[in-house]
Every structure is written in structure tokens, then in C-alpha cells.
Amino acid sequence: MAIQGEEGKVVWGTDFLGPTEDTDITVADADSLVRDDVLVVAVSGDLAVNSLITEPNGVWTFSGAGAAADGVGLIGPVARPDRNGTMEVWFRGKVSTAADARFFLGFASTADRDETVNPFTLSGTTLTANNAGEAVGWYFDSSATTDLMRFMSSTAGTADTTASVFNHQTGVQTTLGSLGIGATSMTLTADKYFMCKIEMDNDGTVRGYIGDETMAGAKGMKLIATLRAGTMGITSLYNPLCMAVAGSTGDPLWSIDFFKGRYNRYWGA
């Protein structure tokens, strides 16, 4: 039996508490910087990083290069469901305009350190599952016909449209369908903080929680969807991943309070 200790939980992340060293840090396209346990990646162009000293809690702001898909990728430490589950990743932040934004929060088995892939983009009613390996989480795209934060999974660039999921909003067992499960009680609003969380158990079950200033409140985030075991590979290695980028050319400002998570330590070889 493997030797075990008291440190059974791996707690990782960054609260963006410390100020940046200068008024602005520029991270060159496809380059990165390390903040605590998180890799901060410039996506699709140079990234301007700053600390927001006008708000409490520690907040960093991120601004892309002014083109579609420009912005920041945040990558956390790798974990494996059958050895480290339950794995959790959660986020709190806001965006300056909801009319020009793309977002993802979840897990991906492919998280490139140079040009991080956004697992899902949605134009009108057409979903594109970009190849992030096995991916699951919340996504938002202002180019959608209906602006909703949605829960979705994919495998090798193909959306898991027939995957079994329980929709806690309706109390119905269903499938993810063509676009995923929309969080109908939340509206992404400019300059309003929202939170979301993804949990993955050791059997591959995945739960999606979400909340903002108009819902959940002091009671915490609401559980929206549970993806049943059998879709996500439990022996795959997953990175926690957040993508906060532009939808078009408006160069939105993302203000991020925290990106963090935890999982069980694996004591084996």
C-alpha cells in the first residue's frame, strides 16, 4: 500500500491578490506567464494584463489585441478522474460587454500552452466543437442567436450531442442536444460578476453550477446540469481551463477575481 500523509487534498489556483509589477504587463501572442498555480496564456494576439486597484478581493484585468478570439487562456494543473476525482474548477469574473464575448470554464484533455483552443464557439445556431481533446464545461458566445451560458461536452472536436444529462432546471433526463443545456435563469450582463463551477467525479460524472448577482445569491451557485458517467474518459488527463476572449473586434475587458480548484491527491506510483 502506498505511503499516505495528511495532504490528501490538492488545492490550486490564483486569487489575483497581488498587484502587477507595472501599470501594464504585455504578454506576447502565444507566450505566457505563471501566476501562482496557473498558466496565463495570450490567445490569438498580444495580451494586456493589469491589476484592478479600485475593487477589493484582488482582481486582474485582461484585454486582447482587438480581433475575434483575442484574449486570455488560464490553465490549471493536470488531474485524472479515476485517481484524483472529485476534481473541481471554479471561476468568478465579469466582462465589460456581453455583446462581444466568448467564454469557457471546465476541463480539457488538450490545453496547448502556446495557442490555447477554445473548446466551443457558437455562431447563430451552429455550434463548432474545436478539438480540445475531451472537453466539458460552460461556454458562452455572443454570436449565438440566443445569448445563454451553456453546459456542453465534446470528444476530439465532435460535440457529444447524444450524451445523457439531467437538466435540474426542468427535472428531466435528456441529452445534451445540438447546443448543450442552457442556464435559462442567468443572463450574462456587462460589468456584473458571475460565478461558475464544474465538478468531475472519479466515474466521469460531471456537474455544472452557475450563479450571478440576480440568482442564487447568498445560497451559492445553482446546479444546472449533471452529465452522466460514460461520456468522459476517466483515465484521461485533464487540465482545468478558462477562456475569456473577444467574440468580435470590440476588445472587451475581462476582470477576473479568481480561477481555482481542488482534487484528491493520488498516493500511488
Domain boundaries, the chain: 11-114+127-264
- Neighbour count for residue 236 (Cβ, 10 Å): 18
First to last CA, the chain: 10
Mean pLDDT of 33-51: 91
The C-alpha cell at 254 is: 475581462
Is the Cβ–Cβ distance between 62 and 47 less than 8 Å?
Answer: yes
Q: Is 84 helix (H, G, I), strand (E, B) or coil?
A: helix
* DSSP code of residue 168: T
Residue written as grid cell 451559492? 220
Backbone dihedral angles phi then psi of residue 83, each to the nearest 5 degrees: -110, -30
For residue 6, CA distances in Å to 10, 175, 201, 267 come to 11, 40, 21, 11
pLDDT tens per residue, range 119-148: 999 999 999 999 999 999 999 999 999 999
Q: Name the helix (H) or strand (E) containing 215.
A: none
* Residue 261 and residue 106 in contact, taking contact as beta carbons nearer than 8 Å: no
Of the CA atoms within 13 Å of residue 212, those in its CB half-sphere come to 18
Higher pLDDT, 187 or 55: 187
Strand partners for 219: none
Mean pLDDT value across the chain:
91
Question: According to CATH, what is the number of the domain 11-114+127-264?
Answer: 2.60.120.200
Residue 54 confidence (pLDDT): 76
Q: Is the pLDDT of residue 166 over 50?
A: yes
Distance of alpha carbon 186 from alpha carbon 209, whole angstroms: 11
Q: Is 145 left (phi over 0), alpha (psi -120 to 50) or beta?
A: alpha
**231: DSSP letter:** S
Cell of 92: 468568478
pLDDT digits (tens, 9 = 90+) for 2-40: 666 678 899 999 999 876 665 678 888 878 889 999 999
Predicted confidence (pLDDT) at residue 228 exceeds the cutoff of 60: yes
Q: What is the pLDDT of residue 1?
A: 46
What is the chain's alpha carbon radius of gyration, rounded to the nearest angstrom? 17
Q: Rounded to 5 degrees, what are φ and ψ at 200?
A: -130, 120
What is the pTM assigned to this prediction? 0.93
